[in-house]
Structure 1
Amino acid sequence: MKFVSLFIALLIGFGLGAGALWFHQGGTAGQGGGSSEREVLYYQHPHNPTIRSDEPRKDEMGMDYIPIYAGDEGRDDDPDVLRISPVVVQNMGVRTAEVERGALHRQISTVGFVEVDEAAQSHVHLRTEGWIEDLRVRTTGERVTAGEVLFRLYSPALVSAQDELLQTLRRNGNAGPARERLRALGMPADAIRQVEQQGRALNLVPVKAPQDGVVQALNVAEGMFVQPGTEVMSIADLSRIWVIADLFEHQSDAVREGLDAEVHFPFRPGETLVGSVGYIYPTLASPTRTIRARITLDNPDGRLKPGMWTDVHIDGESTEPVLHVPAEAVIRTGRQDRVVTMEEEGRFRVHEVRVGRRAGDRLEILEGLQVGARIVTSGQFLIDSESSVTVSLARLQAAAEADDGSVAAEGRINHVDPEARQVNLDHEPIAELGWPAMTMDFEVAEDVALTDLEPGDPVIIHIREREDEEYVYELTHIERLADPTGETDDAPDHDAHTGHDH
């Protein structure tokens, strides 16, 4: 037993940074000099509350026993509470905050990119076949103005239709159908008037820019033969542009059309452009799995170029009143989330929580806390780690004390039947008995109390084969543990078994 005690002490010394911190579960922290007026009932081992002394002394690691004062001894009954020395709390720099209830103001920060305003874009097509002559636009990116000649088109069909119009006019006939044919072939109205006034056909018909803008695409060259349907070029007005912001799915419920948005461009540091969300696209962008929101910005100087990346901040909608805490207070392990509460000075408890939405540095709490609770925002990782060490220590201690031939194991209560003196529980694999993790019914020895056990309680159990009946096992000891993690081992087989099956 001396070797086991020394091993336990060494384990605790390693887990707590070679004695830098000292914790104990269910105990009471040592007091400062101002506590000398209080009556000391006894001194308690810093790691094992069952070891007591009437006089001050040190443990195997050279750490002082903790004085227990009158009025504090009843607090040792709660196994879920961790007691930490006020001196250690101060050295750890523990900070706390209250759980609050209120609306969360959600600020969405994301990235976006500049696109051409599709409503300010036009395409130049031909309605008849012909040859490109006198091409005035040679490269993409050239700026053009509305009415400017882009190129001239030689089309035999247009020349023939003009001759038909002139012949009709010479006969003083109805020229309406001939004019409609020219318009259908894409001849501008001013060119038709010019033909009528001059009395001769235009071999080269001018094609003009439909709007101001920049040539985004140029698909022809001088002398090229083109057919109807060919996009000769496209022109975009960049005096107004779109910023397309990417939103993650969990952010989409905070954004709606009409919300204010701020756009920052890396090449214009310190400058903020203000716009609003004009449209939210109804489908997800498949490559990125994001929802796109469109923001329209004026660009009179043309410095914002299509393809540029931006930082976007959207003033999202506020939530309904909810419980929320500082995000730094939540310990996120991937499988679950936990927080540490401080019930009073030096007394801490670990809670499993379910978190919801995030707004800046605040996290919504869906389950696990009440408004006004005091939570630890700094140093909680050390406390949470110590809570896990305490559970492991209790298991080691139970194994060391199991000198009656029983085997110690960890489990979780499912059902308690005090009248039949039976419990149903999930236990971990037990190598000593060759058992896998299972759900089992156990008979309980007469001297083991069942009144304080409830479904869900994590426990340390001692299992022993009955002397009067072979292959029948009973529980000779049940010790309720703190449950800092709320996790149970994944059992490969949860078919119900009883203690009689082995």
Structure 2
Amino acid sequence: MTTFLRHKGTLITGIILGILLGLSGYKITVLNTDTSSKQANSNTTSDEKKPLYWVAPMDPNYRRDKPGKSPMGMDLIPVYKEDQSDQDAGPGTIKIAPNVVNNLGVRTAKVTRQPLTASITTVGYIQYDQDRLIHIHPRVEGWVETLYVKAQGNTVQKGDPLYAIYSPALVNAQEEFLLALQRNNQQLINAAIDRLKALQLPTTTIEKLRKTRQVQQTVTFFAPQSGVVDNLNIREGFFVKPGMTLMALGSLKEVWVEAEVFERQAALVKPDMAVTMSLDYLPGKTWQGKVDYIYPTLDAKTRTVKVRLRFANPNKVLKPNMFAQVVIHADSTEQRLLVPREAIIRTGRQDRVVLALGDGQFKSIAITMGKMNEHYVEVINGLKEGDSIVTSAQFLLDSESSKNSDFQRMSSTDQTSQNTAQHEHHTEQSVEPKIEKKPSSAWVEAEVHKIMPDTRKINVTHQAIPEWQWPVMTMDFMLADNININQLSPGLTVHIEVQKASNNHYQITQVHIPNTPQQTSEKTSEQQHSDHSEVHKHGQPGETP
């Protein structure tokens, strides 16, 4: 009996222990399952980053906890929690969701190092080759007996007769030569020959005079080179004197083209650069030449530099005073840091690009520009090879980045030398940057499109507001209570004062209709006195501050 009870107790104890162990194992399994589920949910949550809030593109102070529209009707932009990489990128870094990047149509390009090839297109006029242009002047006075060249523009070959002249001085020089020959005095003969040559008597005429011993009353002069007759100023029977221009002979073997390039392009042009020329009267045909000379002066009126080009003219089809289109191939083998021209954001004080940092992060940075062509711009400072920059929709990104960027908050004296090292230096020294505050109101010209009396709103297209960096936009504005809405009508051009309210909305506080003695608001004397002070502060109504 005792043994049975002992066995029975042992069995009961084993059953109880088994039940407890089973229950303990079940509970551990459940806990492990819950922990794994929680970890999976945590990983899923961490992978899907949620925006902290949404802000207006033109006003970062306008925040909402869900997507929507800004007071100006623009889509709100999500803002994410900045991670360690955002902090390393410095002030001005913004992060945009991938779907917003796609909707904005953001495109990027790499900063490359390559030669800057430039093609300068300009116009010019064909001229004679001045190196081969000869003017014919007499060295004695006399009368033109025979003129062999009858019209300007005639072509002559070297050695062709030009004109025959009767001159008493030439007759006397020939007689002195014959007298020296008769005396057989070599010294006198040489002196007589030198005088005849000084008077430009042709060598053939001197030899004929030596043989025939007969004085020629009229002496014929010949063309010193082949060319075209220009500036023909004589006719048969003219009395001519030394220094008078009888005619000019221009060679068409080669021609000059004088073209002009703008001041900003002059540094790209170098001597011996290749040039392509085309003419209107011979469409489809081109000529290849080179840059012969760059003039050292700049035209003060046109702000251009004159460039002389040289072209071969074997068929004599290129004629002086023809109008020509030329393309100067200002190619260079020097490696330069280049970015696409459309990526540059040019302002009055600074040139910028938007740097794509990856993972939806962008930052607007200042650069120093160098030479440029129609497609690329050289970057002297601010970027390095391989950087990715935004080439489309960069203006919206630059507007958002500039609100918090380091160069936007610095004073004007420091804007020309902004970089990351300077930012870190200012951070270590605890120097507080100077903040540029925007005015709370601004006057601008606008055209009324629609009037909504029920909500006291109007739809207008206003001009650019430089103080707020607003471009020309069409948007709705709320009217202040003191404005008489009945005096407004669609199509009316007015001057409005836009003021930023405390709730980050913008409303029209004053309206001025041009050519009217008073504004459209009904004010008390105290309000008019306040407006008078406001006019002295911001300028007359209708003037953009």
Give distance in 2, aligned partners of 1:307 and 1:286: 24
**What is the match of residue 130 of structure 1?**
142
**What is the match of residue 345 of structure 2?**
331
Write out aligned runs for 1:224-373 (5 A). Answer: 224-284=238-298, 288-318=302-332, 320-373=334-387
Higher strand share: 1
CA change 1:66–1:336 in 2 (3 A) is: closer
Give distance in 1, aligned partners of 2:427 and 2:304: 56
User: Is 1:120 equivalent to 2:132 in the alignment?
Assistant: yes
Deviation at 1:242, TM superposition (A): 1.9
- Aligned to 2:282, what secondary structure does the other structure show? coil
Deviation at 1:103, TM superposition (A): 3.4
Give distance in 2, aligned partners of 1:66 and 1:196: 104
Greater mean alpha carbon deviation, residues 83-92 or residues 283-292: 283-292
Deviation at 1:237, TM superposition (A): 1.0
User: 5+ residue gaps in structure 1?
Assistant: 1-34, 392-409, 433-502
CA change 1:184–1:265 in 2 (3 A) is: same
Give distance in 2, aligned partners of 1:418 and 1:274: 59
Give distance in 1, aligned partners of 2:232 and 2:373: 47
The match for 2:395 among 369, 375, 381 is 381
The one-character-per-residue Cα deviations of 1:420-455 (angstroms, maximum 9, x if unpaired) are 9995846659899xxxxxxxxxxxxxxxxxxxxxxx
Give distance in 2, aligned partners of 1:138 and 1:351: 72
CA change 1:165–1:86 in 2 (3 A) is: same
The one-character-per-residue Cα deviations of 1:259-300 (angstroms, maximum 9, x if unpaired) are 333223333333232223344444546665544443322212
User: Is 1:185 equivalent to 2:214 in the alignment?
Assistant: no
Q: Which amino acid aligns with 2:105?
A: G
Give distance in 2, aligned partners of 1:164 and 1:351: 88
User: 5+ residue gaps in structure 2?
Assistant: 1-43, 415-422, 442-545
Greater mean alpha carbon deviation, residues 376-385 or residues 281-290: 281-290
Give distance in 1, aligned partners of 2:128 and 2:289: 16
Q: Which amino acid aligns with 1:186?
A: Q
- Aligned to 2:163, what secondary structure does the other structure show? strand
Q: Is the 8 A contact 1:132 1:226 kept in 2?
A: yes
Rg larger in structure: 2
User: Is 1:202 equivalent to 2:211 in the alignment?
Assistant: no
Deviation at 1:133, TM superposition (A): 1.7
**What is the match of residue 54 of structure 2?**
45
Give distance in 1, aligned partners of 2:262 and 2:64: 57
Give distance in 2, aligned partners of 1:376 and 1:418: 28
Q: Is the 8 A contact 1:106 1:359 kept in 2?
A: yes
Give distance in 1, aligned partners of 2:51 and 2:401: 24
Q: TM-score scaled by structure 2?
A: 0.59
Q: Is the 8 A contact 1:40 1:67 kept in 2?
A: no
- Aligned to 1:231, what secondary structure does the other structure show? coil
Give distance in 2, aligned partners of 1:251 and 1:64: 42
Q: Is the 8 A contact 1:43 1:65 kept in 2?
A: no
Deviation at 1:168, TM superposition (A): 4.3
Give distance in 2, aligned partners of 1:417 and 1:136: 87
Q: TM-score scaled by structure 1?
A: 0.63
Give distance in 2, aligned partners of 1:377 and 1:295: 37
- Aligned to 1:192, what secondary structure does the other structure show? helix
Q: Is the 8 A contact 1:411 1:428 kept in 2?
A: no
User: Is 1:164 equivalent to 2:173 in the alignment?
Assistant: no
Give distance in 1, aligned partners of 2:208 and 2:342: 77
Q: Is the 8 A contact 2:77 2:96 kept in 1?
A: no
CA change 1:297–1:164 in 2 (3 A) is: same
CA change 1:328–1:430 in 2 (3 A) is: closer
Deviation at 1:122, TM superposition (A): 1.4
- Aligned to 1:272, what secondary structure does the other structure show? strand
Q: Which amino acid aligns with 1:147?
A: G
Deviation at 1:184, TM superposition (A): 2.4
Q: Is the 8 A contact 2:128 2:255 kept in 1?
A: yes
Q: Is the 8 A contact 1:45 1:59 kept in 2?
A: no
Deviation at 1:97, TM superposition (A): 0.3
CA change 1:94–1:212 in 2 (3 A) is: same
Percent identical pairs in the alignment equals: 39
Give distance in 1, aligned partners of 2:428 and 2:228: 88
The one-character-per-residue Cα deviations of 1:65-112 (angstroms, maximum 9, x if unpaired) are 88888x867788776233334334323322110122333334444433
The one-character-per-residue Cα deviations of 1:301-348 (angstroms, maximum 9, x if unpaired) are 221122233333333352643322101100112332111122224332
CA change 1:422–1:326 in 2 (3 A) is: closer
The one-character-per-residue Cα deviations of 1:225-270 (angstroms, maximum 9, x if unpaired) are 1111222111011121123343445444444333333223333333
Give distance in 1, aligned partners of 2:191 and 2:179: 12
Deviation at 1:148, TM superposition (A): 1.6
Give distance in 1, aligned partners of 2:294 and 2:287: 19
Q: Is the 8 A contact 2:136 2:245 kept in 1?
A: yes
Give distance in 2, aligned partners of 1:93 and 1:431: 33
The two structures, once aligned, show a CA RMSD in angstroms of 4.1
Deviation at 1:164, TM superposition (A): 3.2
Deviation at 1:144, TM superposition (A): 1.4
Aligned length: 377
Q: Which amino acid aligns with 1:45?
A: W
Q: Which amino acid aligns with 1:135?
A: L
Give distance in 1, aligned partners of 2:275 and 2:325: 10
Q: Is the 8 A contact 1:40 1:68 kept in 2?
A: no
Write out aligned runs for 1:26-105 (5 A). Answer: 38=47, 44-47=53-56, 53=65, 80-105=92-117
Q: Which amino acid aligns with 2:131?
A: A
Give distance in 1, aligned partners of 2:76 and 2:173: 111
